Homo-oligomer: A and B are copies of this chain.
């Protein structure tokens, strides 16, 4: 079912489901698809690129970050120029950076990489996108999508979920040194995942049956309706939210419409208002917004997640409740929404 969610029918594509979190997925990439001294190009759209780069450095992989101003993403011509400068073993992109709400253009990026630097593996950090954004693993030609259970998949946290292309697995098999991690080792997990799919018992480390059962339930629910419908409703809901936020006189971190994620919105608070002044007010109304994560401006903005069941099941009215709470909360904190 993960194959369906990622839209891959290539039998060489290999899913992995491991106890851990999305962060563990970075270790898998850095310790298995790159070797000490290799170069990785990390596209920066917020907090998570800095951390992914740290992860590469831990394993002796040189991470070059291509940065963009807060709320923006590196542009394709810059990526092209960078790819021509050096032979990168892999390029990573945060599909949706949950610290800024910036959406990356994975499809055209992947086309660019295949054209300019066809040996480079394309790694998509989909922690905040799988389940709320369209990902066409085969059609777009990406090599890794890594994610976690708790976001748009809508399952309890505790699972690291990944899809590797046949090309990525080949690249792993051709590495000269052994994997740089033990728990996050494709060598240790690949036979286990293959045995699981073949319904054979196999042991490397204890999995979490409860979480895997929950994942099965979530995926069954998601796949009961066409994915195109799921992504469309996320897009429509997101647009409604973004235009309402804008009608409140508030700005988003991701200023350009083409940069805006469909499963979340990062919203600048009115001038002078800080996140701790409003978040507890929203909590009292039964609505949880998240604080800022981007170090430079953390207190100046809040984050609104609108993905999964809150969006797909309109009878819950979660989105309307959150928008109204935000309006009231702003008022209580001294900012009157014009309307």
Of listed A22, A158, A179, A211, residue having the most chain B CB within 10 A: A158
Task: Provide the A193-237 mask, 1 if CB < 8 A to any CB of B, else 0.
Answer: 000000001011111111100000000000000000000000000
Q: Nearest-CB distance from A231 to chain B (Å)?
A: 23
Within 8 A of B (CB), among A52-67: 54-55, 58-59
Q: Which of A21, A150, A185 is packed against the most chain B CB atoms within 10 Å?
A: A21
Distance from A236 Cβ to chain B, minimum over Cβ atoms (Å): 28
Distance from A312 Cβ to chain B, minimum over Cβ atoms (Å): 21
Task: Please determine whether B27 and A207 come into contact, CB atoms closer than 8 angstroms.
Answer: no
A142 within 8 A of B: no
For chain A, the count of residues having a C-beta within 8 Å of the partner chain is 40
Q: Is the CB–CB distance between A19 and B22 below 8 Å? A: no
Partner of A58, one of B19, B27, B185, B205: B185
Q: Annotate A1-41 by CB proximity to B: 1 below 8 A, 0 otherwise.
A: 00000000000000000011111101100110000000000
Contact A210-B156, Cβ < 8 Å, known A58-B179, A182-B59? yes
Is the beta-carbon distance between A30 and B182 smaller than 8 angstroms?
yes
Task: Establish whether residues A24 and B183, one from each chain, have CB atoms under 8 Å apart when the complex forms.
Answer: yes
Does A19 lie within 8 Å of B158, measured CB to CB?
yes
Contact A207 B20 (CB under 8 A): no
Q: How far is the CA of A53 from the CA of B31 in the complex (A)?
A: 19
A204 near B157 (CB under 8 angstroms)?
no
Residues of B within 8 A of A58 (CB): 178-182, 185
Chain B residues, CB < 8 A from A23: 182-183, 204-206
A20 CB, nearest partner CB in chain B, Å: 5
Q: Which residues of B contact A203 (CB under 8 A)?
A: 293
**A158 and B210 contact, Cβ closer than 8 Å, known pairs A19-B21, A182-B55, A183-B24:** yes
Given contacts A19-B21, A21-B206, contact A54 B156 (CB under 8 A): no
B59 touches A208 (CB 8 A): no
Q: Which of B26, B183, B208 lies in contact with A27, CB distance below 8 A? A: B183
Q: How close is A207's CB to chain B, nearest CB, in angstroms?
A: 7
Interface residues of A in 157-201 (CB under 8 A from B): 157-159, 178-185, 201
Residues of B within 8 A of A183 (CB): 20-21, 23-24, 26-27, 55, 181, 183-184
A253 within 8 A of B: no
Chain B residues in 8 Å Cβ range of A211: 156, 158, 208, 211
A293 to B204, CA, bound (A): 11
CA of A31 to CA of B58 in the docked complex: distance in angstroms?
11
Q: Which residue of chain B lies nearest to A181 when distances are taken between CB atoms in the complex?
A: B181
Chain B residues contacting A157 (CB-CB under 8 Å) are 19, 206-210
Give A268-295 interface residues, CB cut-off 8 Å to B: 291, 293
Residues of A within 8 A of B (CB): 19-24, 26-27, 30-31, 54-55, 58-59, 148, 150, 156-159, 178-185, 201, 203-211, 291, 293
Q: Which 8 A-B pairs have the closest CB atoms?
A: A158-B208, A23-B205, A55-B182, A58-B182, A156-B210, A21-B205, A157-B208, A27-B183
Q: List 5 A-B contacts (CB under 8 A).
A: A27-B181, A156-B208, A156-B209, A158-B208, A201-B291
